[in-house]
Structure 1
Amino acid sequence: PSLLGQVHDLTTTTRVVEFNDLDGLRAALAAGDVACVLTEPVLTNIGMVLPEPGFLQAVRALTREHGALLVMDETHTLSCGPGGYCRANDLQPDVLILGKPIAGGTPGAAYGFTTQVGARMQAVKTASPPGHSGIGTTLSAGLLTLRLMRTMLADVMTEAAYAHMFAIANRVADGLERVIANHGLRWTVTRIGARCEVQFAPQRPRNGSEARAAFDDALEPALQLALLNRGVLLTPFHNMLLASPAHTESDAHALISAFDDALTGLKNA
């Protein structure tokens, strides 16, 4: 009984709304029974989907209007700056959650919330039976994770490091777009902060369904294998690239050159 926030059947407690669909969100919130809206500020797990201008601000306004909390998952969009996408774009979620990047890729997480949400959480905890809250337990406060968090906050998540990563990511994105155009391909490159991605579509997708439709389950692994054979290893899901403080202009040039040569090889195959 003391475990708070037990998992429920998502098929009966969740309504799914496509990204960038304000009418769909408005309809989902109309009954007034939605506890929270949970989203990434930019979709990343289905391929990158950028918010349309004003979309996230409208989401914030609608959640306040209907009494729902806004929860932002910045695990992947922390690449947009030391405060993530929300700080860079002056968004004001009620709850912010981060996953493994805050601990250098190891199992770790952080979350934050407004004063009002914190008071509500404390009230529920105070009224509950004694015991564990269900947060953390055996996987919390490992010394390696804490040391890595400290290193990330002090030495990696700095303005200077982000400026360097943004420059490398811009260099890569511009180079990939140029190569794609030279090969006459109807693909696009999407970028936010230090992250960019090649998508097999002539225009950037506006929701998860369009992003999934742009997948090519045969071409993607073929492209990644071609790049691997040329000394470049991509993250092994879609064609996502992430600049780090350790990457250099030479690394960016090597990636672009390998991408160009890989496309030539695939076209001739």
Structure 2
Amino acid sequence: MSTDSGVSRAHLKTLTDRERATFADRHAGSRSAYDRSDNLFGRVPMTWMNKAAGDFPIYLDRAYGNRIVDVDGNEFIDFALGDTGAMAGHSPEPVVAAVTERVRNGLSTMMPTEDAAVAGAELARRFGVPAWSFSLTATDANRWAIRLLRAVTGRSKILVNSYCYHGSVDESLIVVGPDGRGTSRDGNVGAPVDVTLTSRVAEFNDLAGLERELAHGDVAAVLMEPALTNIGIVLPEDGYLAGVRELTRKYGTYLINDETHTFSAGPGGATAFWGLEPDVVTIGKAIGGGVPVGAYGLGSDLVASLQGRADLDLIDMGGVGGTLAGNPVSMAATRATLEHVLTESAFDSMIATASAFAEGLIKIIGGYGLPWSVSRLGARVEYRFASPAPRNGTESAASADAELEDFLHVYLANRGVLLTPFHNMALMCPTTSLNDVARHHEIFDAALKELI
């Protein structure tokens, strides 16, 4: 008996139990550290770290390039890369050098540094919007962009795609319900108000649905990823992104491209790769080379509108993220990452490696006749338990198979390979090699051979 994913549930459970027992034997130090963490909520620094296929998280000792070594001495090829935060690789030397020098000369001063201006100029060159400001996370960048656009338009609502991901932005926790109307996403923790009061929602790749929501005339901005990522990679269909831009202009609505994950598409993210024209770009994680940072870039027309508003307090109330936003360490790290690590040549190599990863997966999956598919966004690849690949967030959520994901993740981990914990997603960094890809495929093929 099989499910939509094409595997026997009973056999899957037997294999997963075996792999979890092996995982426990090989990670006694991590288990002990986890058990001692009584004073941490959920026993981890952040509760999402409990998303662990082996029943408890692996504890870090050290990381370098695309390798991680845990407290038990196990070494892993890392395709998770901090869920994009380490897309530059772990501790890239130019970032380490820049941060080390900066740490010796002041960490937090509430003063600008020249590194920030250089980083802003490079982001402007890559993404095509001229004026940049910095935060500590992309969540904060999105929050402040939303406030700016509400102020400029006088409109109250933000439109997002169903099952999008924009960090913990309250307005984004809305999905399309079974009746086709917006409803709060399951598990939404402590929503300050009913999300339908602040937000509208449309499915990704659905221009008719988008126009229906924009026609109400109360949407300040569409906040979107050019391709969905955190519910699994969902790529835009031909003409969709151009249609979004046309509709937002028709209804006087600003467009924000959140490039936090879609930065994997290339040095200028999906915005440059697909020739998009957003009013605002937000980004985080990867541009700091592992050091916390976020940023938002504004188009020139928007800058002119904001700077002419004497009624807006853009100084004392002019940011979300507090006094550590734009701090000297984050700015040094961002400049070094953009100038020396995540360069155009690095992206060329990363994308070529990801292409090989995707091609190998397609061959293996096809060999077993599984109803799965493979999606790639630049340097990021994912295998999906659906064929054809989902075309919107709701379909993507429905195709998830947590039991199968856990088996594959723990099977790979027991043999020295890590995937992004939330998906079957692999990200390439500048040091990821074709040998690393081959090792993943060898283990993946062995897992399927046992499973099918």
Provide TM-score, normalisation by structure 2: 0.56
What displacement does 1:199 show? 0.4
Per-residue deviation, residues 58-107 of structure 1 (Å, max 9, x unmatched): 00000001100011100001111111101111110000000111112332
Instruction: Tell me which residue corresponds to 1:265.
Output: 450
- In the other structure, the counterpart of 1:53 is 238
Supply the RMSD in Å over aligned alpha carbons: 1.7
Aligned match of 1:226: 411
Partner of 2:429: 244
Q: List, as ranges, runs of 4+ consecutive aligned residues in structure 1 with deviation greater than 3 Å.
A: 6-10
The whole-number CA distance in structure 2 between the counterparts of 1:158 and 1:116 is 29
CA contact (8 A) 1:104 1:149 kept: yes
Looking at structure 1, the residues matched to 381 and 221 of structure 2 have their Cα atoms a distance apart, in angstroms, of: 29
Aligned equivalent of 2:376: 191
Q: Report deviation, 1:184.
A: 1.7
Deviations 1:101-121 (A, max 9, x none): 111233211111111111222
One-letter code aligned to 1:94: D
Match of 1:150 among 332, 335, 339: 335
**How many Å separate the matches in 2 of 1:101 and 1:75?**
7
Deviates more, 1:113-122 or 1:38-47: 113-122
Give me the whole-angstrom Cα distance separating, in 1, the residues matched to 2:344 and 2:318.
36
Contact 1:223/1:266 (8 A) holds in 2: no
**Amino-acid identity (%):** 47
For the residues of structure 2 that align with 1:187 and 1:139, how far apart are their CA atoms?
44
Whether 2:372 is the aligned partner of 1:201: answer no
What letter corresponds to residue 109 of structure 1 in structure 2? G
Q: 1:184-212: CA deviations, max 9, x gaps?
A: 21110000100110100011111001101
> Is 1:127 matched with 2:304?
no
Alpha-carbon shift at residue 52 of structure 1 (Å): 0.6
1:77 corresponds to: 262
What are the superposed Cα offsets for residues 10-45 of structure 1, whole Å, 9 maximum, x if unpaired? 330211101011111010011222111110000001
My pick for the range that moved more, 188-197 or 146-155, is 146-155
State the distance in 1 between where 2:216 and 2:398 align.
Answer: 31
Q: 2:395 corresponds to which letter in structure 1?
A: E
Tell whether 2:351 aligns with 1:166.
yes
Task: Tell me which of 103, 106, 110 is aligned to 2:288.
Answer: 103
Give the secondary structure class of the aligned counterpart of 1:135: coil
Q: Of the two structures, which has the highest relative contact order with CA contacts closer than 8 Å and spacing of 6 or more?
A: 2
Partner residue of 1:35?
220
The aligned residue for residue 117 of structure 1 is 302
1:178 counterpart letter in structure 2: K
1:205-241 superposed Cα distances (whole Å, 9 cap, x missing partner): 1100110111001110111001111211111011111
Deviation digits for residues 136-179 of structure 1, max 9, x if unmatched?
Answer: 32331233322220121111221110110011101110111111
Code of the aligned partner of 1:76: H
TM-score by length of structure 1 reads 0.93
**Which residue is 1:137 aligned to?**
322
Question: CA offsets per residue over residues 233-262 of structure 1, 9 Å max, x none?
Answer: 111011111011011111111111111112
**Structure 2 stretches of 5 or more lacking a match?**
1-143, 149-169, 172-192
> Match of 1:179?
364
Query: Match of 1:19, as an amino acid?
Result: F
SS at match of 1:16: strand
Matched positions, count: 263
Unaligned runs of 5+ in 1: none
Of Structure 1 and Structure 2, the greater strand share is in 2
**In 2, are the aligned partners of 1:188 and 1:204 still within 8 Å (CA)?**
yes
1:102·1:110 contact (CA, 8 Å) conserved in 2? no
| Structure of higher CA gyration radius | 2
Q: Aligned equivalents of 1:131 and 1:40: distance in 2?
A: 30
